[in-house]
Amino acid sequence: MTTDPDLFDDLQWRGLLCHHTDPDELKAALSAGRVKYYVGFDPTAPSLHMGNLVQIITMMRLQRAGHTPYALVGGATGMIGDPRQSGERTLNSLDTVKDWVDKVHHQIKPFLSFDGVNGATMVNNYDWTASLSTIDFLRDIGKHFPVNRMLARDVVKSRLEEGISYTEFSYILLQSMDYLNLYREYGVTLQFGGSDQWGNLTGGVELIRRAVGGKAHAFATPLVTKTDGTKYGKTEGGALWLDPQMMSPYSFHQFWLNVEDEKVGELLRIFTFMTKEEIEALESAHAQAPHQRLGQKRLADEVTSLVHGPAQTEQAKSAAAALFGGGDLRELSATTLAAALAEAGETRAELGAQLVDLLVASKLCSSNGDARRTLKEGGVYVNNERVTDADFQPSATDVLEGGWLVLRRGKKRFAGINLA
């Protein structure tokens, strides 16, 4: 299998090279032949998130271009967590981290190919860290890290006044040791991660140079932020989890469908495998008719299909259409219905309740009188069927999968009634 000579230029066009070691050397290495590269994923939560997805998709790009991936799940580094500006992390137990390691491992595997000459390898840094003695760690690793350089890191400087533990201060040594170990054991010569990891990435490159006189490369992808500059991710609110139990495929699809116009082009470049020509053509079409949200629709379909599969994408689209009268609610699964109705809020009721009472309980109508007037005017729908009878009482035959009843007032206001 040959490597793609245009990979570096494609990464650059997509805006994925936020920081990098010598660009000429990196480009030459990626063009000269198969490069072994790695990305680390710390299990600091039971699911990966949007920030991790940037790295996963970038790993896929390099593998498709002929290079060989090593996905590292940090069973050791996950016990500590890298320092962050918001303060000291809460340490998780070994059993919790082991459970999360297993979950993260299984989340990563479907995105990579483990066959062929550049098949992926999964590793866990706990395997070479757990048995390491303190003396060996300080002599073999710590000796190569000047404290003045460690203190100069932005995240460390920001924490010095309020305090930072030696545990988090030493995180860079552990991540750098990972790179050195993979360099020695497997011949890995490239590491990449988010731009907030740049100090850790270059720490590994420098450790390889100091410890064994080796040459290694690194690059950092940009942090994906909202238009107001705040970060997407598991610690900044608005988490976009990859685990469908923590964020439903419907909600996942809706997130991408609702991104701002200003972000569409950037997100298409980072999160999809569409070509430059396809993206630029779509951007042009989107600019001419932004109200049609062509960019968001394609983005939502592409990313949801990648993470959850095409079937879940179709379910999410069907749910959105059905809630606003454009499809059959009975075709939706209970899980998709529950996720789709979550944003509207859930109202619990007993089977046999009057529709007027349900309209008031769900806050679609302000009073019984308001409910009766709206019914008379033809503005009420039960499971997308117009109802005008003020004495209507939903029966068992009206109940959807999972015990749901969908009420809608007008075109856009709807509510979920749980009769389970």
SS (H, E, C) 269-291: HHHCCCCHHHHHHHHHHHHHCHH
Instruction: Please tell me whether residues 94 and 181 are part of one structural domain.
Output: yes
Give CA–CA dist 294/257, Å, rounded.
9
Q: Is residue 117 part of a domain?
A: yes
pLDDT for 309 equals: 97
| CATH code of the domain containing 392 | 3.10.290.10
Tell me, yes or no, whether 17 and 76 share the same domain. yes
Same domain (yes/no): 120, 174: yes
CA distance 200 to 150: 10
What's the pLDDT tens digit per position in 387-412?
Answer: 999 999 999 999 998 899 999 998 88
Domain that holds residue 292: 248-331
Average pLDDT over residues 85-112: 90
Count how many domains the chain has: 3
In angstroms, the CA 292 to CA 10 distance is 28
Whether the predicted pLDDT of 236 surpasses 50: no
Based on the fold, state whether residues 214 and 161 are members of the same structural domain. Answer: yes
Q: Compute the C-alpha angle 212/213/214, nearest 5°.
A: 90
Residue 91 shares a structural domain with residue 139: yes
Task: Report which residue type is found at 239.
Answer: A
Which residues are bridge partners to 348 per DSSP?
Answer: 418
Same domain assignment for residues 412 and 360: yes
Which is it for the CA torsion 174, 7, 212, 155, positive or negative? negative
Encode pLDDT of 271-317 as tens digits.
Answer: 999 999 999 999 999 999 999 999 999 999 999 999 999 999 999 99
How much is the pLDDT for 232? Answer: 62
Alpha-carbon gap, residue 278 to 273, rounded angstroms: 10
Q: Which residue pairs from 110-114 have beta carbons closer than 8 angstroms and sit at least 24 positions apart in sequence?
A: 111/56, 111/57, 111/59, 111/60, 111/306, 112/59, 112/60, 112/63, 112/69, 112/71, 113/63
13 inside domain? yes
Q: 350 with 402, same domain? A: yes
pLDDT of residue 27: 97
Q: Is residue 232 part of a domain?
A: no
Is 358 a member of any domain? Answer: yes
Please tell me the predicted confidence (pLDDT) of residue 238.
Answer: 63
Residue 163 lies inside a defined structural domain of this protein? yes
pLDDT at 332 over 90: no
Cα three-residue angle 53-214-177, rounded to 5 degrees: 50
| Residues 42, 79 within the same domain | yes
Mean pLDDT of the region 363-377: 94
Rounded Cα distance between 99 and 383, Å, is 41
Question: What is the pLDDT at residue 322?
Answer: 85
Establish if 292 belongs to a structural domain. Answer: yes
54 and 136, same structural domain? yes
Residues 320 and 386 in one domain: no
Q: Where are the alpha helices (DSSP H) in 130-260?
A: 134-140, 147-151, 154-159, 166-169, 171-186, 198-212, 249-257
Q: Taking the model in full, what pTM does it have? A: 0.88
Which CATH number characterizes residue 57's domain? 3.40.50.620
Q: Confidence band (pLDDT; 50, 70, 90) for 235?
A: very low
pLDDT tens figures, 261-277: 999 999 999 999 999 99
Q: Please report, for the domain that includes residue 301, its CATH number.
A: 1.10.240.10
**Model confidence at 200, in pLDDT bands (50, 70, 90)?**
very high
CB atoms within 10 A of CB 387: 17
Is residue 230 a part of any domain in this protein?
A: no
| Residues 30 and 168 grouped into a single domain | yes
AA letter at 82? D
Q: What is the pLDDT of residue 225?
A: 87
Measuring CA to CA, how many Å separate 249 from each of 19, 263, 302?
32, 21, 12
Task: Compare 369 and 168 and report the one with higher pLDDT.
Answer: 369
30 and 140 housed in the same domain: yes
Last residue in a domain, options 331, 354, 380? 331
Domain end marker among 204, 221, 238: 221
Domain boundary residue, one of 331, 359, 390: 331
Q: Which of 58-62, 160-164, 323-327, 338-342 has the highest mean pLDDT?
A: 58-62
